[in-house]
Amino acid sequence: MERIMSWNNKGGTGKTSLTFQIICEYARQNPAKKVLAIDVCPQANLSELLLGGLNQGGSDNLLKRQGTSPRATIGGYFQMRLPSPYSVPAFTTSDYITTPAEFNNYIPKNIYLVCGDPLLELQANAISTLANNQIPGTNTWLAIINWLNDFLANLEEEYDVVFFDANPSFSIYTQIAIAACHKIVLPVMADDSSRRAIQNAFSLVYGLKLPSEIYTRYAFAEKMREAGNELPKVHMILKNRLTQYMGPASAYSTVLSAIDRDVESLLKSHPEIFTFSKIEDGVTNVRDFQTTGVVSSARGCPFYTLSSGRLDVLGQRVQVKEEYRQNCINNIQDVVARIF
């Protein structure tokens, strides 16, 4: 089972929109494979897209899944774990899994979903407290951090790919997702804050360039190593929302070059944290999807099923040009080929 996570600790990088398109395109290309999307985000934007977007009541459909018993979301699974956090109770994984195609005809039938849930924010303090308890003979942190590994242990033979989407934080629920994935895809923007975000991501996940040795023993990476758990590897860095017509615009070239230099430096000093050895194999550009992307997200519709022409978006007629739509399709297909 391939486990890939889309994450950056900076918001606004287009992470969820990209994840939606990547998952749908991969599923379209591989109809015989089962794809599980796990939305580890309290905003649950990926879930809303897969369940219909704005036009098809994605939010209402998500509320329906949150209203089932047990609650068919990541929050529902965590809620079930809270009473016995350090041992794995008997549970049925299918209780927490949704088939988006039952709500949204645009979505391939081989995609399945563990919905996101605002409960995650409420649960975070309780989960963190449980992870820091001191119980003789029990590694409480490891027991908590493996919650999603426990969930996926029942599904190894059932799904081919698991794709996590997490919000821009390093909360305990994000750490649980990172501990369960094998590869990380990092979307970035062409700005200084994205460059800093990459540096922060490497510090948070791998314990690199921490400001003081005081932090080392508390670092996620150190705890993972002490427990014998493998850290995920950086699989791809997506430079997102570059200009549609010119490629990487000259105004952004300095920042983009600096990001490349940072990654090249890490490839030399810490090659073990990457799945690639040359920057051209692990860094790629994604064009700005512009209006086509907005319409696609609003309709809960991947690019390959989106019609061109004037389309209705919440009562407004919006123009989607076929040339731009095809450019978006080609770009996502290139990204999928590189990731998988």
* DSSP-H helix ranges across the chain: 15-29, 45-50, 58-66, 74-81, 119-131, 140-145, 147-153, 172-180, 192-206, 220-227, 253-269, 279-282, 290-299, 322-339
Structure tokens at 296: 């696609």
pLDDT values of the chain reduced to their tens digit, one per residue, 340 residues: 999 999 988 777 778 999 999 999 999 999 999 999 999 999 999 999 999 998 899 999 999 999 999 999 999 999 999 999 999 999 999 999 999 999 999 999 999 999 999 999 999 999 999 999 999 999 999 999 999 999 999 899 999 999 999 988 899 999 999 999 999 999 987 676 777 778 888 889 998 876 666 677 778 999 999 999 999 999 999 988 655 444 445 556 777 788 888 899 999 999 999 999 999 999 998 888 888 998 999 999 999 999 998 887 777 788 899 999 999 999 999 999 999 9
What pLDDT is stored for residue 245 in this prediction?
40
Structure tokens at 53: 């977007």
Structural domains of the chain in order of their starting residue, each with its CATH number: 2-339 (3.40.50.300)
pTM of model > 0.85: yes
Q: Are 210 and 261 in contact (CB under 8 A)?
A: no
